[in-house]
Amino acid sequence: MTATDSAKHQKSKALKPGSRRPAKELCSECGLCDTYYIHYVKESCAFLTQHIAELEAEIHGRSRNLNNPDDWYFGVSQNMMAARKKEPIEGAQWTGIVSTIAIEMLEKGIVEGVVCVQNTKEDRFQPMPIIATNREEILAAKVNKPTLSPNLSVLEQIEKSGMKRLLVIGVGCQIQALRTVEKKLGLEKLYVLGTPCVDNVSRAGLQKFLDTTSRSPETVVSYEFMQDFKVHFKHEDGSEEKVPFFGLNTKELKDVFAPSCLSCFDYVNSLADLVVGYMGAPFGWQWIVVRNDTGQEMLDLVTDQLNTQPVMSKGNRKEAVQQSIPAYEKGVTLPMWAAKLMGVFIERIGPKGLEYARFSIDSHFTRNYLYVKRNYPEKLEAHVPEYAKRIVGQYKLPDV
Ligand code: FAD
Ligand code: SF4
Ligand code: SF4
């Protein structure tokens, strides 16, 4: 950070909470505009400027190879694997690999702070970003807050705290903005641990989803759209509820997702050093994508605490994706018995491992492409990255 940067920061002012953001209804509330880094919003905001390829080259040393379909789907990578903790963290979203890496980095003195997101005391789903400086604070941030989360709202505190080595945990839209302002933060080293992210919602949208889908919305602690084609809800009493995707009330739920997330093409968090999700791994395992040497350094810290296996890929997603496009458009909802039957059938013969991840990426990218084409036709060309155009180009889409 230069003296001029510092002066710019002093002059710029965060927007007031609740005021309209520069990306208007497309804002994913990433938090940047809650800080004086709003000064850089035009070039940083994922919904005003899409420049993933340029940032990939800067951060990973190359951008996606457009002749390699694996790069279209999973981004720049050195290594991929399935992994799970030998001793899972109780109450983590999966086995707690993300929280474990963060704790190791802090306790080994590799970083001085970790940007992560806890929830407020009053509401387990209301995000509250913090800079954690001890194990307890990181553990209090475990589990997904399945709502738009202003993780970058703590950026001003970094400069003020004088921290020089930092880990940021976040999802794609947050990380694109972060990478764009990275050099302005005054850090010696930034580590980025990402998770994939899709279909996120505002807090009000989450309530509608829970009310429409779960038998007991008020006791849901967490949920996940799983590889067995069911939504798994975990409840307060430890019980699990499973609802087949095909039985979801698509008509009611169509407008529940945030416009940002219906326009998002960074499902796999292209700009993180290391990505930890689940969708490319067998059921019960987590999926790890190492994008560069920094990501490998982060993963090496915890490998002795993990069981690992190579990634696998089985089945063929293409027909299922093609058929799902008109079904989604018409808002088809199957009766519950048929949805369960369909779930069992697809689970037996359906795509597994990396092919399941491709299935999920294809379904979301085709839906999002149509959404942008219908609602923001003037943005379509520049906003959709080239790799996403190739993915969508494999399918026949309805004329808008
Ligand atoms: P934990 O150890 O439980 O840690 C979770 C971490 O996530 C915490 O550090 C917390 O700070 C951070 N976090 C929680 N909520 C948010 C948020 N809203 N924004 C930013 N950071 C947050 N993976 C897939 O493979 N496919 C998907 O479709 C998919 N969808 C997701 C949708 C959302 C909204 C989110 C937040 C994550 C999604 N993931 C997806 C990632 C996956 O659900 C797990 O978060 C990941 O595998 C890490 O699990 P863990 O047990 O290691 O995490
Ligand atoms: Fe600002 Fe982030 Fe919203 Fe873009 S997405 S307008 S950078 S808060
Ligand atoms: Fe951000 Fe995309 Fe996740 Fe929405 S789906 S919160 S835009 S990364």
Ligand of minimum distance to the alpha carbon of 47: 2
311/313 Cα distance (integer angstroms):
7
pLDDT in the model for residue 341: 66
99/276 Cα distance (integer angstroms):
11
pLDDT in the model for residue 3: 67
366/330 Cα distance (integer angstroms):
15
- Within-domain flag for 292: yes
pLDDT in the model for residue 338: 67
277/285 Cα distance (integer angstroms):
9
Per-residue pLDDT of the chain (400 residues; tens, 9 = 90+): 676 677 667 668 899 888 899 999 999 999 999 999 999 999 999 999 999 999 999 999 999 999 999 999 999 999 999 999 999 999 999 999 999 999 999 999 999 999 999 999 999 999 999 999 999 999 999 999 999 999 999 999 998 899 999 999 999 999 999 999 999 999 999 999 999 999 999 998 999 999 999 999 999 999 988 888 889 999 999 999 999 887 788 777 877 899 999 999 999 999 999 999 999 999 899 999 999 999 999 999 999 999 999 999 999 999 888 988 887 777 766 666 766 766 766 777 788 999 999 999 999 999 999 999 999 999 999 999 999 999 999 999 998 8
ipTM of model: 0.99
Ligand of minimum distance to the alpha carbon of 24: 2
State whether the beta carbon of 30 lies less than 6 angstroms from ligand 2: yes
- Within-domain flag for 381: no
Do the bridges between strand 113-119 and strand 220-225 make them parallel or antiparallel, or are there none, so unpaired? unpaired
- Within-domain flag for 123: yes
55, 179 Cβ separation under 8 angstroms: yes
- Within-domain flag for 168: yes
Within 10 A of 99 (CB to CB), how many other CB atoms are there? 25
- Within-domain flag for 384: no
- Within-domain flag for 185: yes
Is the pTM here over 0.90, yes or no? Answer: yes
Report helix, strand or coil for 242.
Answer: strand
Domain containing residue 106: 25-200+260-313
272/294 Cα distance (integer angstroms):
10
Task: Give distance in angstroms: CA of 334 to centre of ligand 2.
Answer: 37
302/257 Cα distance (integer angstroms):
35
State whether the beta carbon of 258 lies less than 6 angstroms from ligand 2: no
- Within-domain flag for 366: no
pLDDT in the model for residue 181: 97
Task: Give distance in angstroms: CA of 81 to centre of ligand 1.
Answer: 17
Report helix, strand or coil for 281.
Answer: coil
Task: Give distance in angstroms: CA of 25 to centre of ligand 3.
Answer: 14
Q: Is the dihedral of CA 157, 164, 43, 168 positive or negative?
A: negative
258, 247 Cβ separation under 8 angstroms: no
- Within-domain flag for 277: yes
- Structural domain count, the chain: 1
Q: Which two tokens stand for residue 353?
A: 């491992």
